[in-house]
Amino acid sequence: MAISILVTGDIHIGKKSTGINTDSNVLATKFTWQKIVDYVIKNKIDVLALTGDVVDQNNRFFEAIGPLHAGFEKLKNEGIEVFMVAGNHDFDVLPQLVDSDRYENIHLLGKDGTWEVKEYAKNEEKIQFVGWSFPSKHFAESPFLKYKLDQVNITLPTIGLLHGDVDVPESSYAPIDKSSFNNKNVNAWFLGHIHKPDCLRDFNPMVYYPGSPHALSAKETGIHGPMLVTVNSQNSIETKAIPLSPVRYKSIDIDVTDQTTEADVRNVMTSTLYADANAKINELENTSFLVYDIYFVGQHNNIQDLKNWTEPSIESYSQEINETKISIRKIKYHVKPKIDNLEELALESSPAGILAKTIVALEKGETTPFSDKLLEKWKKIHQKTYQSSVYNPIIESENVKSPDTEIQNQYLLTECNRILTTLIEQQNQ
């Protein structure tokens, strides 16, 4: 008889999805935690496994204690056991919230940075969980340095639970080399810390990031939800993604070439969004909000007009498919000026020529003296902002990283295109 496990992590109870112009209750992660518990009970899942960062941080203790304990109580009443590890966000608060005297069905593995093994039995079938929890907010060593093979019963199917950064050796959040999962007598590893679902290995052993079950920001695009794991034997473990996130973020390109009027642009924008959402209709059963970041591409005579026509839609656009509300979070203008002789213009020493030369170079992955000066100035301003204490909480909680060269060049390219279009428009007046 198979044993079923619902695996998830990075719920961050106490937070809510951003970039949505409403105050709906479903945007809070505690709502998704309740859905996870209800799904486990309704579908008679044997075990719930949590891979850390269940709670956002210590300052969310009082926000998290009610929903978390309510869920634990429901699971206890149904005889469902929970195996979990603590991550970097809840290393201190999770042990406080997990009362083993009150909840005999809740097992926090690997407290204080030590590996721990516990068995689970269903009738005659047995499996075991092995796990390690963060002992502090930062941990710059691999947890596997203290792993002991003799802890694990090699005759039982074994599930590993761990929170950390795979193949990021400089990480302060339990850096793990992918090869470290080998030869640990574990059949499948389920990890926390990375919010994007990812399969690092599909066999011998399986290594998965189930991802966050609740999409919190536009960085977390695509389908999010827990993973259903069915353990038939040591060599037969099945996985299936369960879409439960009430929010889904999506980026989309919309070509505005030949869309010369405001009506044309609005029509292509609304029809493209509706068609894209409608194509996903079978994936949106549990999705209350579908949130788009639009990237306008192609060529246009006047990028400033394009902005004036479309920017109000960020606040005002509203569409609905079944029970899913569609909105726009952000619009980016990766549009080129409609110039037939850009290469020829780039030969001129005029301001328009310098901009054209810079655009041509950036599109080829090259630079010009002008773009080098712009980039140097941009980096100074960005670094000042990035190092400002005002933004430290956001940078740390959202794991914001400094933009790479490709992103930096895209910023420059977008602005050069916009300015060149304005210059040419002024010259034609």
Residue 92 has pLDDT above 80, yes or no: yes
Closest CA to 188 of 154, 151, 160: 160
What is the CATH topology of the domain spanning 3-241?
Purple Acid Phosphatase; chain A, domain 2 (3.60.21)
DSSP label at 280? T
Q: What is the pLDDT of residue 156?
A: 97
Residue 393 has pLDDT above 70, yes or no: no
Task: Classify residue 411 as exposed, middle or buried by CB count within 10 Å of its CB (0-12, 13-18, 19+).
Answer: middle
Find all residues with CB under 8 Å of 178, minimum gap 6, and list them: 166, 167, 200, 201, 207
Closest CA to 352 of 425, 266, 297: 425
- The domain ranges of the chain are 3-241, 246-338, 344-429
User: Residues 245-262: pLDDT tens digits?
Assistant: 999 999 999 999 999 999
Higher pLDDT pick, 57 / 327: 327
Q: Round the average pLDDT of the chain to a whole number and report it.
A: 92
Residue 398 has pLDDT above 70, yes or no: no
Do the beta carbons of residue 107 and residue 82 sit within 8 Å?
Answer: yes
Q: What is the pLDDT of residue 233?
A: 95
pTM, full prediction: 0.84
The C-alpha angle with vertex 138 and arms to 136 and 143, in degrees rounded to 5, equals 80
Instruction: Retrieve residue 328's tokens.
Output: 């726009």
Distance CA 327, CA 249 (A): 10
Exposure of 43 in the CB half-sphere (CA atoms within 13 A): 17
